[in-house]
Amino acid sequence: MTLVKIDAVTLAVWPNLNEEYWVGASDKDAEGSWKWTDGPLVSLKTGSGGLWESGEPNDAGWSGASENCAFISTALKMNDVPCSIIRKYVCQGGGAR
């Protein structure tokens, strides 16, 4: 199973369930270089049409851990957070991997 890869179109139709969900983006291999699990770079755009919350990804060090995984926040944008926190997650649908 692979965590879901999203784009601005996916975010625009993301259901607002007031919960946070892991998506398949990480910068664990190289700090600040965000990649999807299948390899492509993640756009770092924020604001309208962007994937990230304003000021994210910021590697802020929530709970003292570096922020190398990303979830979709309740604001329906991505935020980088420590990979160790517990959240629900969304996997990629069937078809090509």
What is the CA 65 to chain-centroid distance, rounded?
17
Minimal distance, residue 14 CB to Ca ion, in Å: 18
Helices (H), 1-97: 8-12
Element spanning 9, H or E: helix 8-12
* CB-nearest residue to Ca ion: 59
Which range of residues in 13-21, 22-30, 34-42, 82-90 is near Ca ion by CB under 5 A? Answer: 22-30
In the block, residue with structure tokens 């069937």 = 94
Structure tokens at 80: 């980088």
Applying CB under 5 A, among 68, 70, 71, 72 the residue interacting with Ca ion is 68
Of the CA atoms within 13 Å of residue 13, those in its CB half-sphere come to 4
Minimum CB separation from Ca ion for residue 1, in Å?
23
Tell me how far, at minimum, the Cβ of 28 lies from Ca ion, in Å.
Answer: 7
Which residues sit at the interface with Ca ion, rule CB under 5 A? 27, 56, 58-60, 67-68, 79-80
